[in-house]
């Protein structure tokens, strides 16, 4: 077998080991992370728009929604839901690299997205989300936060970091 090039391609056979120094492979992984993460952020933003419009999806009623996603007796108002949706949409745009900003601004924005999502995720998995909001979240919310929301935020933060160029 011939010597491998820095990208991991074996010239005689054309086989490829997907090494980290291979720009096409690295770019492909970044793109997959970018698309997956931005798609999830858009979906979560859409949920917030729906909630701001009065929907209770995926729950049966607004009270269950409030307890499950905010840990409160009442759902946040439309303004709050739409604000979160807007921030999530901007985060998705940065991660997907579809906003008309320069490379340095995008990189800083993506790191900001990762920092916020990472902080939210750490607060969730450690049961400290109550320190981020002005109310005391319910036990039901804290359980969901530790089990689902916190890890999801950490996964999204990781995806955002992987998409940074």
Flag whether 17 is in a domain: no
pLDDT over 50 (residue 131): yes
Flag whether 5 is in a domain: no
pLDDT at 140: 96
Q: Averaged over 71-100, what is the pLDDT? A: 96
Count: domains in the chain: 1
Flag whether 53 is in a domain: yes
pLDDT at 16: 58
Flag whether 7 is in a domain: no
Rounded mean pLDDT of the chain? 89
Flag whether 27 is in a domain: no
pLDDT over 80 (residue 21): no
Flag whether 1 is in a domain: no
**What is the 3-state secondary structure of 78-127?**
HHHHHHHHHHHHHHHHHHHCCCCCCHHHHHHHHHHHHHHHHHHHHHHHCC
**Residue 81 · residue 48 · CB < 8 Å:** yes
pLDDT over 80 (residue 69): yes
121: Cβ contacts below 8 Å, ≥ 6 apart:
150, 151, 152, 153, 154, 155, 156, 157
Flag whether 8 is in a domain: no
Which residues span the domain enclosing 145?
Answer: 35-163
Of 17-21, 60-64, 98-102, 115-119, give the lowest mean pLDDT range: 17-21
pLDDT at 9: 57
Flag whether 4 is in a domain: no
pLDDT over 60 (residue 13): no
């Amino acid at each position: 077998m011939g010597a491998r090039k820095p990208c991991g391609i074996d010239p005689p056979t054309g086989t490829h080991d997907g090494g980290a120094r291979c720009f096409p492979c690295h770019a492909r992984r970044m793109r997959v992370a970018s698309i997956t993460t931005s798609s999830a952020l858009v979906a979560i933003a859409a949920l917030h728009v729906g909630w701001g419009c009065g929907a209770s999806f995926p729950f049966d009623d607004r009270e269950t929604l409030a307890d499950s996603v905010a840990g409160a007796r009442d759902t946040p108002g439309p303004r709050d839901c739409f604000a979160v949706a807007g921030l999530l949409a901007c985060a998705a745009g940065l991660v997907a690299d579809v906003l008309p900003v320069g490379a340095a601004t995008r990189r800083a924005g993506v790191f900001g997205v990762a920092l916020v999502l990472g902080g939210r995720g750490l607060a969730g998995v450690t049961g400290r989300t109550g320190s981020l909001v002005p109310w005391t979240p319910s036990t039901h919310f804290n359980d969901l936060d530790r089990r689902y929301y916190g890890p999801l935020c950490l996964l999204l933060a990781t995806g955002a970091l992987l998409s940074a160029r």
